[in-house]
């Protein structure tokens, strides 16, 4: 049995919130390059080039790629041989989101579902947890934009 202090989870989620909003990832940038090569529309090529430039600026200047930093959607693969100590998994994740959105200067846009009052810290996060074999925990964070339905 492996013990993991939830404070480590909080720190990692904080870092993931910031990274996911400033670093588009090399695979996406390569996909832009492939699309630019194949695209026939000059307007579309210009847009793809602007998206690449926005991604470069975001990464270099440590600013969000987009003003809509979205819902923090967290995917957790929790090893069945992991024992978490120092608190709960969900509260550690929510605290990591609070810190990440505050320290990363990310837009906090999450509202309570009934009062429509902004939470002020972008919580609660959406958390998907899967119990898996092993003694490790894997956390993936994806900021997802929202939509309003009237």
Neighbour-count burial for 25-50, b at 16+ CB within 10 Å, e otherwise? eeeeeeebeeebeeeeeeeeeeebee
> Which of 28, 23, 7, 9 has the alpha carbon at shortest distance from 63?
23
Residues 6+ away with beta carbon under 8 Å from 86: 5, 6, 7
Interatomic CA distance for residues 74 and 107, integer angstroms: 17
Query: Which residue, chain included where needed, has tokens 């695979």?
Result: 27
Query: By the 8 A CB rule, do 87 and 140 touch?
Result: no
| pTM for the predicted model, two decimal places | 0.87
pLDDT of the residue at 27: 93
Relative to beta strand 82-85, strand 126-132 is: unpaired
3-state secondary structure of 128: strand
pLDDT of the residue at 135: 97
Q: What is the CA radius of gyration of the chain?
A: 18
Please report, in tens digits, the pLDDT of each residue of the chain (150 residues total).
999 999 999 999 999 999 999 998 899 999 999 999 999 999 999 999 999 999 999 999 999 988 888 889 999 999 999 999 999 999 999 999 999 999 998 988 888 778 889 889 999 999 999 999 999 999 999 998 765 444
Task: Fill in the DSSP letter of residue 109.
Answer: -
pLDDT of the residue at 146: 61
Task: Fill in the DSSP letter of residue 125.
Answer: P
pLDDT of the residue at 150: 45
């Amino acid at each position: 049995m492996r013990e993991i202090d939830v404070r480590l989870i909080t720190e990692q989620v904080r870092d993931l919130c910031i990274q996911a909003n400033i670093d588009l990832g090399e695979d996406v940038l390569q996909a832009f390059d492939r699309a630019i090569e194949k695209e026939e529309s000059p307007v579309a090529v210009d847009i793809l080039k602007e998206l690449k430039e926005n991604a470069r600026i975001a990464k270099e200047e440590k600013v969000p790629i987009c003003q809509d930093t979205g819902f923090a959607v967290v995917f957790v693969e929790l090893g069945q041989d992991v024992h978490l100590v120092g608190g709960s998994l969900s509260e550690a994740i929510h605290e990591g989101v609070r810190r990440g959105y505050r320290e990363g200067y990310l837009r906090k846009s999450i509202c309570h579902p009934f009062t429509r009052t902004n939470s002020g810290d972008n919580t609660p996060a959406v958390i998907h947890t899967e119990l898996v074999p092993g003694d490790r925990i894997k956390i993936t964070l994806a900021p997802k934009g929202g939509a309003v339905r009237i």
